[in-house]
Amino acid sequence: MKAEVEQLRDEHQAPERLARSGLTPSRTGLFTGPPGVGKTLAARWLASELELPLLVLDLSSVMSSYLGRTGGNIRKVLDYAKSSPSVLLLDELDTVAKRRDDAAEVGELKRLVTVLLQEIDDWPSTSLLLAATNHGDLLDPAVWRRFDVVIDFPLPGRIELEEALRHYCGSETPEGLGFLVRVLAGSSFADAERFVMAGRRRAALNGERLFDVLLQLGRERLRHLDQVERLHIALDLVHHGDLSQRRASELTGVSRDTIRRRQRDTQSE
């Protein structure tokens, strides 16, 4: 995903290299993935790297009860974005570009999809048109084919979460980061940032160390997990040397005897 976004930047920063091979920069890119995984942030980064203005159109906000007006509104925005080099992000694309074979959709909305497809086809190579969706399965198949590049933004893995937590915590990065990474497994970057910011605010209000506050918030999250899941986290923490058996027991609520016994069973297998 990172490499694909960087290539978009490189193509627009060095179009002359592509021209020597008879090529032009990718005009359009579709970002797919769940909320909070960095789609909008990637668009901002691209605009910054290319030193172009970023225009954001939230399609869910321009949907009018009079659908004919929506088509006109979208065309006006796209025409404006075409008038000079820029990066345009169409957010919540699935709000408009739904499958045209969906019997529940009215004919006017289907015509709106056609309008959007025509505008994408006419997009100039001097600008970059990006679109983002949390629900790629709702998009009309013809929409997928119109984009030069499709980039999937998955939920962050362990390494990505750890890097994000270090960034969000800054100079206050806690020592027991492994515990927090496991607590936040399956979370988006936005979820992780909210988690850390809540901890920083609580720490500032109560005069506590951020490390202690984040551990407490982590324990609160673990209460929603069953015994098997908490045992798995405890064993993982001890196995990787992040925490001692005693500390892992305190944080997960799993007894030291259970952790010790399961470790022995695992080693003997």
Q: Tell which CATH architecture fits domain 2-152.
A: 3-Layer(aba) Sandwich (3.40)
Whose CA is closest to 141, among 98, 107, 96?
A: 98
Identify which of 91, 88, 70 has the alpha carbon closest to the alpha carbon of residue 129. 88
**DSSP letters of 54-89?**
EEEEEHHHH--SSHHHHHHHHHHHHHHHHTSS-EEE
The partner residues of 88 in beta bridges, in order of sequence, read 55, 129
Structural domain boundaries in the chain: 2-152, 158-268
Please give the structure tokens belonging to residue 9. 């930047």
Q: What is the DSSP string of 101-152?
A: T-TTS-HHHHHHHHHHHHHHHT--TTSEEEEEES-GGGB-HHHHHH-SEEEE
260: which strand partners? Answer: none
- Considering only CA atoms, which of 232, 188, 236, 197 is closest in space to residue 217? 197
List the structure tokens of 130: 């990006």
Question: Assign residue 36 a region: left if phi > 0, alpha if psi is -120 to 50, beta otherwise?
Answer: left
pTM over 0.85: no
Please give the Cα distance from 48 to 42 (Å, whole number): 10
pLDDT in tens, the chain (269 residues): 889 999 999 999 999 999 999 999 999 999 999 999 999 999 999 999 999 999 998 887 766 544 556 667 777 778 888 888 999 999 988 877 765 555 445 566 677 777 788 888 888 888 899 999 998 888 878 888 889 999 999 999 989 999 999 999 888 776 667 778 888 888 999 999 999 999 999 999 999 988 888 888 888 888 777 888 888 888 877 876 666 888 888 878 888 888 888 887 776 65
Which residue in the block uniquely carries the two structure tokens 């809540």?
A: 198
Instruction: Tell me the torsion sign for CA atoms 204, 206, 209, 210.
Output: negative
